[in-house]
Amino acid sequence: MPRARTNDEFPSRQSRADFVARRLAELYPETPIPLDHCDAYTLLVAVLLSAQCTDKRVNQVTPHLWALAETPAAMAGVPVEKIQAIIRPCGLSPQKAKAISGLSRLLLERHGGEVPRSFAELEALPGVGHKTASVVMSQAFGEPAFPVDTHIHRLAQRWKLSSGRNVVQTERDLKKLFPRETWNQLHLRIIFYGREHCTARGCDGTVCEICRTLFPTRKRP
């Protein structure tokens, strides 16, 4: 008969992090990129569209956008209103359409039509914050990065891997806990697990495997 787990089994952040990394690697040995894309530019645009929108919805919309234009040069020639009409289902379409048009022009003017490979240059583009830049650096260029969205932020707090009050501090904490070479896959694994088992607002901590294992004495969801 398996012995009951106690809180003493995971007394520190590091012990909890080690368990999370090990279990997620078992559950998700493969880490496919959730957003459909064909190069760094289409990934950049898709990530921008995913703000406050599901990846599923973005993947439904982007084929229509790529049919219109799938390079910076082509997109820069499309009226903002036309971009907005296509991406409206993703939400925040006025801001996102202006950002897509603006970053496409800047890629042509400053980077020869190529997506830059540095955080500073990416974050200088319209609509591109640190999280978006991190996704592009990790998923398009294979550079170690740990993109932290609000869901990963919540899970890090839920699993007591961070006490950060914002995504910036949570990212710092997670980078200290996990080896650099695992960041790119691990952030995707956390996303996969969160969507499947530990949803942003509806997780039942007495049922979710990782919550239940880390904190076996919890009595409330």
**Looking at residues 152-168, what average pLDDT do you find?**
93
- In the chain, CATH 1.10.340.30 sits at 40-139
CA 53 to chain centre: 12
For residue 3, is pLDDT > 80?
no
Q: What is the pTM of this model?
A: 0.90
Instruction: Tell me the per-residue pLDDT of 106-148, one tens digit each, with 9 for 90 and over.
Output: 999 999 999 999 999 999 999 999 999 999 999 999 999 999 9
CATH 1.10.1670.10 residue ranges for the chain: 8-32+146-214
DSSP string, 35-52: S--SSHHHHHHHHHHTTT
Q: Return the CATH fold of 8-32+146-214.
A: Endonuclease Iii, domain 2 (1.10.1670)
- Catalytic sites, residue numbers: 131, 149
Its CATH architecture, for the domain 40-139, is Orthogonal Bundle (1.10)
Tokens of 169: 């501090």
Burial class (CB in 10 A: 0-12, 13-18, 19+), 105: middle
What is the per-residue pLDDT across 27-45, written as a single tens digit (0 to 9) for each? 999 999 999 999 999 999 9
